[in-house]
Structure 1
């Protein structure tokens, strides 16, 4: 894979996160306007998000890795697959890109560009759901890269599509997206006061997945085995 300069990788991360959030927020607004059936509205929101993830990971993955998610960038840095110095800039690009995505969605639907959400998403069940959602996402990404790198876009898109429905939180699994969604008082919003619980839960889920994958896939052992077989000259 071509190594792109940091500036281009940051634009990729910001653009991807922005389009992702615009899809989440915009499809939520559209679904809510088209139907009074909450389940049907969630289905529309779900399908649009899953489909867009497949597209974004496919086209932007070769540039920046298509993290679009601070905890994913953190995990890759801890695994020494992303320079630690790049993490703050990746997170900044993702966060600001996500906020821009919310504003874009609002602009398309003639709403105030920024709002404070009033949707309550708090409590032990919601936090547990975010641990589970983020654990699953990171597990799918790391395992997919190991066994079927060509299928990661589809794996992530399908996982998020499913996780919207089996988690009580509808699977935010992303601190940057959560922050952006706190600025929309629409179908997909979350109260700003509820953000800390979600972000902590997402970090816990990501770290647990990273540790399990490292053990399950024998990452350290495989690295040692490879180093023994590599030529020394």
Structure 2
């Protein structure tokens, strides 16, 4: 599969994910009549649903990362080389912003609105570390033990993490950056982004360590890597 085709897949997937996260948040708030629980339920269900579809359809093309944390984990496993890793991450960030703008356009909002939703503090940061840890560990173990179930397992995890984390589980640096450009239900203040991303990276790093301890193939992780990724 050519790199350009993989990057196009990542663009479509990431943009679609963000359009769903933001758009379903807008629709959930509009229809819930002030009930934040109903709005969150709608947001979580829509996000889980689109993740299942996107991973199932685009996974065979690009791996369906849609997330710099996943891409960095694949680089750590030497399934991507440095050039591919940087290209994936750049496309994910651009696509995430495009997805927010698309959601805004569909609901007749300004295309860019710097976020105002306060998301800061130790509880929020811990939540992002936990959410990112769980997401990465789910993906890595599922790829090893239940590859056919990756779409369902990732979608299920994200649906649950929306509810059991105080931050509603961003767990994705590209998503976090893009959601700083919306004042809707899904938004975050730009000033809160750096700490969220730091927590996400920490959670992902711990997940890689946990996977190394749990994986039955950890001893061959690098020996089976593609030569060109070294």
TM-score normalized by structure 1? 0.93
Residue 22 of structure 1 corresponds to: 19
**Residues 78, 38 of structure 1: CA spacing in aligned structure 2 closer, same or farther, 3 A cutoff?**
same
Residue 80 of structure 1 corresponds to: 78
Residue 8 of structure 1 corresponds to: 5
Distance (Å, rounded) in 2 between the aligned partners of 1:224 and 1:186: 43
Distance (Å, rounded) in 1 between the aligned partners of 2:9 and 2:96: 12
**Is residue 2:213 matched to residue 1:215?**
yes
**Residues 68, 224 of structure 1: CA spacing in aligned structure 2 closer, same or farther, 3 A cutoff?**
closer
**Is residue 2:116 matched to residue 1:96?**
no
Deviates more, 1:79-88 or 1:38-47: 79-88
Based on CA coordinates, which of the two structures has the bigger radius of gyration? Answer: 1
Residue 35 of structure 2 corresponds to: 37
Residue 220 of structure 1: how far off its partner (Å): 3.5
Deviations 1:67-121 (A, max 9, x none): 0000110011011111222111101100000000000000000000000010000
Distance (Å, rounded) in 2 between the aligned partners of 1:53 and 1:71: 16
Q: Is the 8 A contact 2:51 2:155 kept in 1?
A: yes
* CA RMSD in angstroms, aligned pairs only: 1.4
Runs ≥4 in structure 1, deviation > 3 angstroms?
A: 222-226
| 1:191 counterpart (189, 192, 201) | 189
**Residues 206, 54 of structure 1: CA spacing in aligned structure 2 closer, same or farther, 3 A cutoff?**
same
Residue 224 of structure 1: how far off its partner (Å): 9.2
Residue 115 of structure 1 corresponds to: 113
Write the mapping of 1:154-173 to structure 2, written as runs, cut at 5 A: 154-173=152-171
Residue 139 of structure 1 corresponds to: 137
Distance (Å, rounded) in 1 between the aligned partners of 2:223 and 2:37: 50
Residue 229 of structure 1 corresponds to: none
**Is residue 2:60 matched to residue 1:62?**
yes
Unmatched 5+ residue regions in structure 1? 227-233
SS in 1 for 2:50: helix
Give the count of matched residue pairs: 223
SS in 2 for 1:131: helix
Q: Is the 8 A contact 2:77 2:221 kept in 1?
A: no
Distance (Å, rounded) in 1 between the aligned partners of 2:212 and 2:20: 33
Distance (Å, rounded) in 2 between the aligned partners of 1:46 and 1:78: 30
Deviates more, 1:145-154 or 1:214-223: 214-223
Residue 180 of structure 1 corresponds to: 178
**Is residue 2:48 matched to residue 1:50?**
yes
